[in-house]
């Protein structure tokens, strides 16, 4: 169930019954997602690791493809993606339809819940970018099983990469600054804020979108606040070996990009 705080909870009361509520990756929010483009340094780290290990990449929870799948296909990789949201897949298909055929043929999206997904295909690099690991971490045993499944989908010497924020703490209750933006071409504006530990150990994102015709939308998304100890504990129970971790800073936000490897069979 969606949870709202502060300004967003009041908005819901103000527009009682006249506001459409959905998930942060569904409906109109899948269009808005593009406006929250990721960090370029981190994107380069993913590509760099791909160049070390091979051509075949799988992105878990791939979204609309604009941040990683498409740029990596443009660099020459073959990129598959698994994504649960129909709206995100519709945006992905729109984005891909504008690409030249030689890039299109390197891209393939599969609609599935990654916890249910199975494949016999093998990859050189499997990625979970844009702090999505926090969306998949509520149940530690389920995450561990996912890591083991990913391990089995990798070629020997293949790598798993994911990133998470290290500036978020679980000890205090605090809200981020409010972020707003207007898109004059697509005729909407949004208001975005993150609420940390309003639910213990969770970062809850609230987002409001209003279009020029007056339609109103509210969404929320709940992520676990991930710590180094949590990741070390879960990964420590899997077959993965640590390869490298990068620290990346951008304004107030600090991120860790982790790379784990599947050791070549003896």
Ligand X SMILES: C[S@@+](CC[C@H](N)C(=O)[O-])C[C@H]1O[C@@H](n2cnc3c(N)ncnc32)[C@H](O)[C@@H]1O
Residues of this chain that interact with ligand X (CB under 6 A) are 25, 38, 59, 61-63, 67-68, 82-85, 88, 113-115, 129-130, 132, 135
Provide, rounded to whole angstroms, the least separation between the CB of residue 204 and ligand X.
Answer: 14
- Measured distance between the N- and C-terminal CA atoms of the chain, rounded to whole angstroms: 48
Provide, rounded to whole angstroms, the least separation between the CB of residue 266 and ligand X.
Answer: 33
Question: Cβ closer to ligand X: 111 or 157?
Answer: 111
Question: Cβ closer to ligand X: 11 or 62?
Answer: 62
Question: Cβ closer to ligand X: 35 or 191?
Answer: 35
Rounded distance between C-alpha atoms, residue 164 and residue 180, angstroms: 23
Rounded distance between C-alpha atoms, residue 203 and residue 45, angstroms: 25
Question: Cβ closer to ligand X: 152 or 241?
Answer: 152
Provide, rounded to whole angstroms, the least separation between the CB of residue 26 and ligand X.
Answer: 8
Q: Helix, strand or coil for residue 21?
A: strand
Q: Nearest 5°: phi and psi at 102? A: -65, -25
Question: Cβ closer to ligand X: 58 or 235?
Answer: 58
Helix, strand, coil % in the chain, rounded to nearest 5: 30, 35, 35
Provide, rounded to whole angstroms, the least separation between the CB of residue 170 and ligand X.
Answer: 20
Rounded distance between C-alpha atoms, residue 201 and residue 191, angstroms: 23
Q: What is the DSSP letter of 200?
A: T
Provide, rounded to whole angstroms, the least separation between the CB of residue 37 and ligand X.
Answer: 8
The beta-strand segments (E) located in the chain are 20-23, 56-60, 78-83, 107-111, 123-128, 154-165, 174-175, 179-183, 188-196, 202-211, 216-224, 241-250, 253-261
Rounded distance between C-alpha atoms, residue 29 and residue 32, angstroms: 5
Question: Cβ closer to ligand X: 73 or 84?
Answer: 84
Provide, rounded to whole angstroms, the least separation between the CB of residue 174 and ligand X.
Answer: 21
Place of tokens 């091979």: 54
Question: Cβ closer to ligand X: 157 or 202?
Answer: 202
Task: Yes or no: say if 217 and 28 are a contact pair by the CB < 8 Å rule.
Answer: yes
Provide, rounded to whole angstroms, the least separation between the CB of residue 70 and ligand X.
Answer: 10
């Amino acid at each position: 169930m969606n949870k709202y705080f502060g300004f967003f909870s009041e908005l819901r009361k103000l527009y009682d019954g006249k506001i459409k509520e959905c998930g942060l990756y569904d409906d109109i929010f899948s269009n808005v997602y593009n406006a929250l483009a990721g960090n370029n340094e981190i994107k380069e780290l993913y590509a760099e690791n791909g160049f070390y290990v091979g051509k075949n990449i799988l992105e878990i929870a791939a979204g609309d493809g604009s941040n990683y799948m498409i740029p990596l296909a443009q660099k020459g990789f073959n990129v598959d993606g698994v994504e649960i949201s129909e709206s995100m897949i519709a945006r992905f298909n729109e984005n891909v339809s504008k690409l030249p055929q030689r890039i299109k043929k390197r891209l393939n999206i599969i609609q599935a819940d990654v916890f249910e997904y199975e494949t016999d295909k093998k990859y050189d690099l499997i990625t979970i970018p844009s702090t999505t690991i926090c969306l998949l971490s509520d149940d530690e045993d389920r995450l561990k099983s996912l890591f083991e499944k990913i391990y089995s989908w990798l070629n020997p010497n293949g790598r798993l990469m994911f990133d998470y924020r290290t500036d978020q703490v679980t000890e205090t209750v605090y809200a981020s600054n409010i972020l707003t933006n207007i898109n004059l071409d697509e005729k909407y504006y949004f208001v975005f804020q993150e609420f940390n530990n309003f639910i213990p150990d969770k970062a809850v994102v609230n987002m409001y979108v209003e279009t020029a015709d007056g339609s109103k939308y509210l969404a929320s998304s709940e992520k676990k606040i991930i710590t180094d100890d949590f990741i070390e504990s879960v990964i420590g129970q899997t077959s993965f070996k640590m390869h490298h971790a990068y620290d990346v800073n951008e304004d107030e936000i600090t991120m860790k990009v982790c790379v784990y490897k599947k050791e070549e069979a003896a």
